[in-house]
Each structure stands twice: as C-alpha cells, then as structure tokens.
C-alpha cells in the first residue's frame, strides 16, 4: 500500500483515522495517527494509533489480541483525515461490542450480509453437526448448488404469485444458500461484488 499524502503541518502532526469493517462497512472506531503510526500500520497491516493519553504508538489488540487487519487506507480530499478499512479479529470496543459507536449492535441493511457471511463461515469451521449450515456444507458443492437452484425457483414463483411477504422470505432463503455455496467454493461475497463493480465501471 502506498503512503497517503497527508498535510501533517495543518493537523499538528496528528490525523483522525476512521476504521471501518471491510466486509460490512460498519464504522468500528476512531483513533489518531502520526506519521510513525501510519507507517507502522502500512508495514505490519495492523491498525496502529498514536495514543494521546499514553504518549506512544499503540497497536489495536496488542493486549487483547483483537487486532484490526488492514485492507486499505485512503485519505480524504483535504488530506487531513484517514479512512481505514480492516477485518476485525474479535470485538473492536473494550466493552466487548462490535463497534465503539452507539450500543455496538451489528450493522443493519445491506451491510448485514457481511455479518451473516462471517457468522456462517465461523459456523462451518466449528463443525457442529446440529447446525443445518454445517450439515449442508458437508454434503458438498453439488448439494448446496441444488439448494440454490431450488430456492431460486421458489423465489421466482413467489414473485409471480404476488405476495410480497412470501417473496421476501424466499429471497432471504436464496441469499442464505448462495452465501453458503460461495463459502463451499472458497469464495466470498466480495468476489461476486468485485465482478459487479467491474461491470459497472465506466468504459474507458
């Protein structure tokens, strides 16, 4: 990753760094970085701040193990604020919650799909056969693909039938099974989204 161009003089040597979950886009926390903290963040791929209370560099998770693994770092248009996208290892907040903002609840809307993917991934890795997800994944690609086909048909039929509640329920089942199929195929939602982004990009 390239070192962002920061106007350190304007910010008196410290810039705010907003940390966002790379998968769900939920805002996790806000900290401050000086030039040394930013360089260490880019070098180690773990979010490191400058602690104003401890007066030293502080890598998030250095004592708890709840690191923030860096995916990307962007600077804003005024060159005085950073947006860090990261994959959190465990809860971000010292209260044990996902985020330091609000009540720390999971993000809603489209971002919830990222949380669902993470949850299903952990469930599959856990191997508890009392879980439908685990049993389905163990049956292999063919069976999961069959379920996606079945749910796709049921979603289409529900759409034609005209009952919005039934259609929404079938669409939810389709999304769930599609996420499981992606995981069984060692892919993520991000891989499918990247294809959509590429298709949507302006042609040069």
pLDDT digits (tens, 9 = 90+) for 38-70: 999 999 999 999 999 999 999 999 999 999 999
Domain CATH for 117: 1.10.287.1080
- Determine the structural domain holding residue 72 and report its residue range: 1-106
pLDDT at residue 24, as a whole number = 85
Residues 57 and 24 in one domain: yes
pLDDT reported for residue 2: 75
Domains in the chain, number: 2
The verdict on 5 and 60 lying in the same domain is yes
pLDDT at residue 203, rounded to an integer:
78
Q: Are both 168 and 102 inside the same structural domain?
A: no
Residues 41 and 69 occupy one common structural domain: yes
- The 10s digit of each residue's pLDDT in 133-190 is 999 999 999 999 999 999 999 999 999 998 899 999 999 999 999 999 999 999 999 8
DSSP letters of the chain?
Answer: -PPP---TTTTTT-EEEEEEETTT--EEEEEEE-HHHHHHHHHHSB-EEEETTTTEEEETTTTTS--EEEEEEEE-TTSS-EEEEEEESS-SSTTS-S-SSTT-PPP-GGGHHHHHHHHHHHHHHHT-TTSHHHHHHHT-HHHHHHHHHHHHHHHHHHHHHT-HHHHHHHHHHHHHHHHHHHHHTT--HHHHHHHHHHHHSPP-
Q: What is the pLDDT of residues 71-98, one digit of tens each?
A: 999 999 999 999 999 999 999 998 888 8
Q: What confidence tier does 109 reach under pLDDT thresholds 50, 70, 90?
A: confident
* Same domain as 98, residue 10: yes
Please give the pLDDT value at position 23: 85
């Amino acid at each position: 990753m390239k070192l962002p161009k920061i106007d350190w003089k304007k910010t008196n040597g410290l810039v705010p760094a907003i940390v966002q979950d790379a998968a769900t886009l939920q805002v996790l926390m806000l900290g401050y970085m000086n030039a040394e903290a930013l360089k260490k963040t880019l070098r180690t791929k773990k979010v490191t701040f400058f602690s104003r209370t401890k007066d030293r560099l502080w890598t998030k998770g250095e004592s708890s193990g709840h690191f923030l693994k860096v995916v990307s770092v962007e600077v804003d248009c005024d060159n005085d604020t950073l947006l860090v996208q990261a994959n959190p290892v465990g809860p971000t907040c010292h209260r044990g919650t996902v985020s330091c903002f609000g009540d720390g609840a999971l993000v809603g809307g489209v971002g919830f799909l990222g949380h669902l993917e993470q949850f299903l991934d952990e469930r599959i890795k856990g191997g508890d056969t009392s879980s439908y997800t685990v049993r389905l994944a163990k049956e292999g690609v063919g069976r999961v693909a069959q379920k996606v086909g079945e749910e796709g048909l049921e979603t289409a039929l529900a759409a034609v039938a005209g009952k919005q509640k039934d259609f929404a329920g079938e669409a939810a089942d389709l999304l769930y099974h599609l996420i499981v199929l992606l995981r069984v195929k060692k892919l993520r939602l991000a891989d499918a989204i990247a294809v959509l982004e590429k298709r949507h990009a302006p042609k040069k």
